[in-house]
A = this chain, B = another copy of it.
Amino acid sequence: MIHVAVLGYGTVGSGVVEVIETNKTDINKKSGAELNVKYILDLRDFPGDPYENKVVHDFNIILEDPEVSIICETMGGNEPAYTFSKKALMAGKSVCTSNKELVANHGPELLQIARENNCNYLFEASVGGGIPIIRPLNYSLTAEKIDAITGILNGTTNYILTKMDKEGADFEDVLKEAQEKGYAERNPEADVEGYDACRKIAILSSLMTGKNVKFEDIYTEGITKITAADFLYAKKMNRSVKLLAMSKETEDGFFAMVAPFMIPTEHPLYSVNDVFNAVFVHGNMLGDSMYYGRGAGKLPTASAVVSDVVDCARHQGKTIMCFWDAENVSLMDVADTKRRFFVRVSADKKEAAIAAFASIAEVNAGFADEFAFVTDVMSEKEFNDKIASIGGAINRIRVEA
């Protein structure tokens, strides 16, 4: 029997207990041993809960119990999750986490501690919820040189953008509705400003390079400036607007960014709607591949945590390979990265815009007081200089091929 402790009996933590209970026959078979949830750590009590007698309030009870060999950290946030995870790993207990913030902040350090103590720090649930993406990157695409990852990594913003696209609604109205439905937090900043997607692409970029991509270095722009009018233009262009998190190895260097992009209907990410997430991976031998599924939610996320538990159970006393060194990757300045831009300026700037950008493709969505166009490929710096020279734009959205 393998004893497991769950840290945090919130949405994901209670999901972990539910998944282990619901699918126990299959999970035990695949683990090669019976899994038993021995402790649940939470500040609260849960009277009447079937697992109430497993609830403890002191982490040291778990840490000092030699029977516990696997810990699910589903608390979120940096502290006390960081201290608990570190202590657990130093005691040779494997940690499986859904905590993207902690993984993005301390991944290489916690992986190193796991290696030194012959146990594992696994984090399949930290990116893409239930979508298997960490394990495919680490175990499946091992014959590839991965040169680009592009993901829709945040369910809340994808839900909002999908609604705006389908219903022609404005950002504020859809956000309010999403909050009422519980799809968005009361303080939606982490989602709508792209911070959540930023941490996730930092993790994927680190696995892609084998080194550390600091999330603080990643240029991040949210969706709060996207309007119903932008979607009308997008439709005219057979496109939609998606919040993309991307990292790419280019001739000029490695870059990573999070921002809204216009993508065409033929792009496989175009059909990724509502709360679904997807990760598009390009390798030098395989070409394009994509991984799609539910990026959040209690049971999908918990399923990913439990798949890590099964992996730990199979590899007791042995560290599973994961290349993520502490050495920081130096990222290109986003100003030097190149792409096309969709731009809306007031109608009186039409001549100036044409003069400044030389070669453009006009887009008409029926707004008489505006002039809208798509630029040629240019650096962000060049684009910003040109737009500044004509006194700024109503809005601009990056265009993905």
User: CB within 8 Å of B: which residues of A?
Assistant: 19-20, 22-23, 26-27, 29-32, 124, 130-132, 135-136, 139-145, 210, 266, 268, 270-271, 283-294, 299-300, 302-307, 309-311, 314, 321, 323
Contact = CB atoms under 8 A, between A and B. Distances in A.
Contacts of A31: 142
B143 A132 contact: no
Given A23-B145, A30-B323, A323-B29, A286 B271 contact: no
Which 6 pairs from chain A and chain B are nearest by CB?
A132-B140, A289-B293, A143-B306, A290-B292, A285-B303, A130-B286
**Residue of A27, A287, A303 with most chain B CB atoms under a 10 A cut-off:** A303
9 contacts: A23-B143, A26-B142, A135-B139, A139-B311, A143-B302, A266-B271, A286-B299, A287-B300, A290-B290
Contact of A270 (B29, B271, B289): B271
| Copy count, this protein chain | 2
A294 B286 contact: yes
A13 B202 CA distance: 36
Given A142-B311, A311-B142, A293 B303 contact: no
A30 B321 contact: yes
A27 B321 CA distance: 13
A307 B141 contact: yes
Given A130-B286, A142-B311, A288-B293, 6 more contacts: A23-B143, A132-B289, A266-B271, A286-B294, A286-B300, A292-B292
B140 A136 contact: yes
A41 to B, nearest CB: 21
Contacts of A291: 289-292
Contact of A285 (B30, B32, B136, B300): B300
A392 to B, nearest CB: 37
A210 B25 CA distance: 13
A307 B143 CA distance: 5
Given A30-B142, A132-B141, A323-B30, A287 B294 contact: yes
Contacts of A283: 303
A285 B22 contact: yes
Contact of A286 (B32, B139, B288, B293): B293
